[in-house]
Amino acid sequence: MRYTSALDRKIRKGKRKLSRAIKGSKRRERLRRAIARIEAKQRDIRRDFNQKLAARLVRENSVVVLEDLNVSGMMKNRKLARAISRAGWRQIRAMCEAKSGMIADREVRTINRWEPTSQTCSCCGYRWGKLDLSVRSVLCLNCGAEHDRDVNAGANILAAGLADPNGQALSSVRPQSGAVACLSTHQEAV
């Protein structure tokens, strides 16, 4: 979140100062408390944002569909770990579930993490397989639709969530059509 990036810099700078301060000194204790105050402020800003986001999602939609992600596995990626941990996905999910219980006829559904949401065309259902994270858009040669990776995955998550009361898989939601193949738009067709 952009609001907390300045606080992040203050925390990092404060912790560098704290590491150089003499243990047991009053100055070190003052620095420790100042850092704790900044961290608490940052935590409150994130919690407030997550509360407002969860409330808006549940209020505006009768069914909220979330994807169960392997967050602990994603945290092992050093380039993504900080952004993932700051997003507070677990907290947003818990808040959505709690708020849906408070508001009548609101439902939060979670789909399986193994559902191939970014590997399937949201128009025709053709599955093209795994894509590298650098590939941001895909051209389906089966139906000719060009998809943004995230928008396509969102459409597939919604379709799987709405069709999932009995554990039905995404592949059974849309019929598989005989196909050519789907290529990313960053690669040339052979």
Domain ranges of the chain: 124-190
Phi, psi of 100 (to 5 degrees): -70, -25
Span between the terminal Cα atoms of the chain, in Å: 42
Question: Measured on CA atoms in the order 160, 163, 168, 174, is the torsion positive or negative?
Answer: negative
pLDDT tens digit sequence for 71-118: 888 889 888 888 888 888 889 999 999 999 999 899 999 988 888 888
Most confident region among 2-11, 58-67, 169-178 by mean pLDDT: 58-67
| Token digits of residue 127 | 């599955």
Burial degree of 135 (CB within 10 A; 0-12, 13-18, 19+)? middle
Report pTM.
0.75
